[in-house]
Structure 1
Amino acid sequence: MTGASVVPPGLRAAFDDHLAHADDTGATALALDLLRSGASAEEILLRLIAPAQAAVGARWVSTEWSVAREHAATHVSERAVSAVAAAASASRPRTSAPGRRVLCACVEGERHTLPARITAEVLRLRGFDLTFLGANVLVPRLVSHVHRQGPDLVALSCMIPVRLPAAHRLIDCCRRAGVPVLAGGAGFGPAGVWARTLGADLYAPDPATAADMLAVRWPDRPRETAPLEHLADEEYSRIVRQRTELLRRLLARLRERYPRLCDPGAEHAEAVLEDLGRIPDVLAAANYVDDPRVLTDYLSFGVAFLHARGMPTSALGLALGILSGPLGDLPRASAHLDAGRRWLAAAGQAVPPE
């Protein structure tokens, strides 16, 4: 990372306060003052804005902040990123030979754009010629940009594992066009294990590492990606086809077992149902990459999420049991559900009978 100084703790606390009060003017001014005082733009992005935004997410999970407050704070962070990027661009000398062309995008359904935006700006600061497509990029849109702009690399962001099948579609279309793919984001799993499963050429855990990797070794033109052979059993397709019925059955049974969820006005009821209602999609993603860790990682999040909202974490075990019935004849799906129940038991979470 460029720049040797660190962000003073007092400035970080002040920035956090601006986020807490949705004060985009104050947050932007603080970031620009820090830039003028000698801190590098990359340092501000990675050591001030990114960790502050991570704390915003943690406050939402713990229910310290509402969804609305989290969204407002995220907007402030986005404004600060834009201001720092614009100021850094204005102060950089113009060159007649731009660097390698990188297309940066969030996979279909992915609306957490800030990590991808910060990555794009760090790469731009390191001299790459960047185009940022933003959130929820569909395959036709990406294909259009790839063929029109001819990028040297596509950087894909995926923050939630349920988007892995969509990520695979984008990775596949890029590789078919002869463009290598750099994957990033927590959705690609521990150490990017699912990025490799889906055929990405590189994985980077953070923006600075991505820039460092590309500076040392540019990926070769990709060859055709090998198919995911386990998908030939069509288990994933069947889960997707049954999604509506699985979700209906799941939510109905949860409302029956936990009557407070029947009241849309009850505190956190809507958020709890939304969280538990993602489990069929999480199971489908686990089936897609054939790795139960997609499910067990989500259960780990779910335990903290439900506990903070005063909801019995046994609801997770109940949800797995509800899905086991209609999916009992699918060997891989059943194995993943069993792995989820074992994880809950090992974590000391009750697994009630369905």
Structure 2
Amino acid sequence: MTHRTIAAPGGVIPAWTARLWDAVLDGDEFAAVDLVDAALDEGVEPESFLLDVVAPVQARVGAEWAANRLTVAQEHAATAINERVVAALALHPAARRTSRSAAPAGRITIACIDGEWHALPARILAEVLRLRGWQVDFLGAQVPTHHLITHIHRTAPQVVGLSSSIPTRLPTAHAAITACQATGTPVLVGGAAFGPGGDYAEILGADAWAPDARAAAELIPSIAPRTPAPQQAAIDDLPHLADQEYTMVSRTAGTLVKSIMTGLEERFPAMASYTPKQRGHTAEDVAHIVAFLATALYLDEERLFTDFITWTSGILTVRGVPALSLVPTLELLAQELSDFPRARAMITAALGTITAPPPGDAEPALPHDHGKPA
């Protein structure tokens, strides 16, 4: 199946966007919901409010967290307010009129990959599609693949839209994509997990990828139906999995984390004085590194791992933690995986992305509570 994308046009409503941002930043849910009523009552199209106001505000929430200007708690509160805004918009008379007046377009299922809790982007797409006349089954966050397939058999949608923002869910996404396609249902995917240009969507065999809800809504009507066929095994699509590196790293992730923790304690005796909370943060962050490496091995995409290390370096830096603190963990991981050539090559490439500091060893900074949004 040919992998296709479509670019999204620009367009914002600066005044409404600024007002929603202020309400979100203040944690004022009532003010945010009142903005929906005011905007739609003044003639703003419901779809435009979703795509040109809510979506940019939510993107800014993530950017502000990454820049260390919002805490994890503030990020969660802001997201919850935006979810309430979308729900309020869906119930507004203007949105209902738009949906009812649109020509019937068919039935579609929208869901988040199992393990994916960030449901707002998928919810925005679902509401845009409803406004365009689609009968939408929005299944929400973290949908187990077997339940998704049961739903498909019961409802027979024309297309399934799958969302994921977390790259470590891509192996699960692959299983969901192929399971949906085995029923004869084409799959559109979206979300940050699939890469900025949708490259990982193509590797995983999705029928189409879109960068945002507007592009997805425009692309979906042109997605061709599929013929039901037996579901393929992952190795049929990704022959590099035959070397078992992904399997071994993913299955021994817990052991790898414990070994790296032991190695860090031997290198840095001061870790013996860390509190249980600090040790927990350290182990959690090491586990993230191992998980991203495993995912990169699954796709055979070095860039996925190096991009994650680059992103993590930036997150640490803005929080006053030297990026060099990642080096000991990566070196210990390379030692543990000395018999895995693809893994070692990826770790070496990741080490090359970390800017060299002044001479001298740096204590690992992973125990610092730099925080990640859930």
- Give the TM-score taking structure 1 as reference length: 0.89
| Preserved CA contact (<8 Å) 2:158 2:225 | no
* AA matched with 1:283: L
**Residues 211 and 350 (structure 1), Cα distance of their counterparts in 2 relative to 1, 3 Å cut:** farther
**Residues 265 and 288 (structure 1), Cα distance of their counterparts in 2 relative to 1, 3 Å cut:** closer
Give SS of 1:339's match. Answer: helix
**Residues 259 and 6 (structure 1), Cα distance of their counterparts in 2 relative to 1, 3 Å cut:** same
* AA matched with 1:132: F
Q: Does 2:192 match 1:182?
A: no
Residue of structure 2 equivalent to 1:61: 66
Distance in 2, Cα, partners of 1:98 & 1:341: 53
Residue of structure 2 equivalent to 1:20: 25
Q: Does 2:289 match 1:311?
A: no
Residue of structure 1 equivalent to 2:367: none
Distance in 2, Cα, partners of 1:201 & 1:240: 27
Q: Deviation per CA, 1:128-154: give whole Å up to 9, x if none.
A: 221111111111111111111111111
Give SS of 1:131's match. Answer: strand
| Preserved CA contact (<8 Å) 1:165 1:285 | yes
Which consecutive unaligned segments of at least 5 residues does structure 1 have? none
Identity of matched residues, %? 39
**Residues 334 and 232 (structure 1), Cα distance of their counterparts in 2 relative to 1, 3 Å cut:** same
Q: Following superposition of structure 1 onto structure 2, how do residues 314-353 of structure 1 map, counting pairs within 5 Å?
A: 314-344=324-354, 347=355
Distance in 1, Cα, partners of 2:127 & 2:269: 46
Q: Which moved more, 1:273-282 or 1:137-146?
A: 273-282
Distance in 2, Cα, partners of 1:195 & 1:350: 40
Give SS of 1:191's match. Answer: coil
Give SS of 2:250's match. Answer: helix
| Aligned residue among 66, 70, 75 for 1:70 | 75
Q: Following superposition of structure 1 onto structure 2, how do residues 251-290 of structure 1 map, counting pairs within 5 Å?
A: 251-254=261-264, 257=268, 259=270, 262-263=274-275, 274-290=284-300
| Aligned residue among 33, 53, 63 for 1:48 | 53
Q: Which moved more, 1:200-209 or 1:90-99?
A: 90-99
**Residues 96 and 203 (structure 1), Cα distance of their counterparts in 2 relative to 1, 3 Å cut:** closer
Q: Deviation per CA, 1:55-113: give whole Å up to 9, x if none.
A: 11122222222211111111000000111122144223637974221111111111111
**Residues 47 and 276 (structure 1), Cα distance of their counterparts in 2 relative to 1, 3 Å cut:** farther
Post-superposition offset of 1:314 = 0.9
| Preserved CA contact (<8 Å) 1:42 1:122 | yes
Post-superposition offset of 1:243 = 0.5
Post-superposition offset of 1:262 = 2.2
Q: Does 2:268 match 1:235?
A: no
Residue of structure 2 equivalent to 1:201: 207
Distance in 2, Cα, partners of 1:18 & 1:93: 27
Residue of structure 2 equivalent to 1:214: 220
Distance in 2, Cα, partners of 1:91 & 1:234: 54
Post-superposition offset of 1:258 = 8.7
Residue of structure 2 equivalent to 1:111: 117
Distance in 1, Cα, partners of 2:329 & 2:62: 25
**Residues 199 and 67 (structure 1), Cα distance of their counterparts in 2 relative to 1, 3 Å cut:** same
Post-superposition offset of 1:233 = 1.4
Distance in 2, Cα, partners of 1:161 & 1:108: 12
**Residues 271 and 125 (structure 1), Cα distance of their counterparts in 2 relative to 1, 3 Å cut:** farther
**Residues 123 and 258 (structure 1), Cα distance of their counterparts in 2 relative to 1, 3 Å cut:** farther
Give SS of 1:130's match. Answer: strand
Q: Does 2:176 match 1:170?
A: yes
Residue of structure 2 equivalent to 1:154: 160
Give SS of 2:353's match. Answer: helix
- Paired positions, count: 348
Distance in 1, Cα, partners of 2:196 & 2:357: 23
Give SS of 2:162's match. Answer: strand
**Residues 271 and 29 (structure 1), Cα distance of their counterparts in 2 relative to 1, 3 Å cut:** farther
Give SS of 1:325's match. Answer: helix
Give SS of 2:185's match. Answer: coil
Q: Does 2:257 match 1:247?
A: yes
- Give the TM-score taking structure 2 as reference length: 0.85
Q: Which has the higher contact order (CA 8 A, sep 6+)?
A: 2
Which consecutive unaligned segments of at least 5 residues does structure 2 have? 1-6, 365-374
Distance in 2, Cα, partners of 1:111 & 1:5: 28
Post-superposition offset of 1:12 = 2.4
* AA matched with 1:263: T
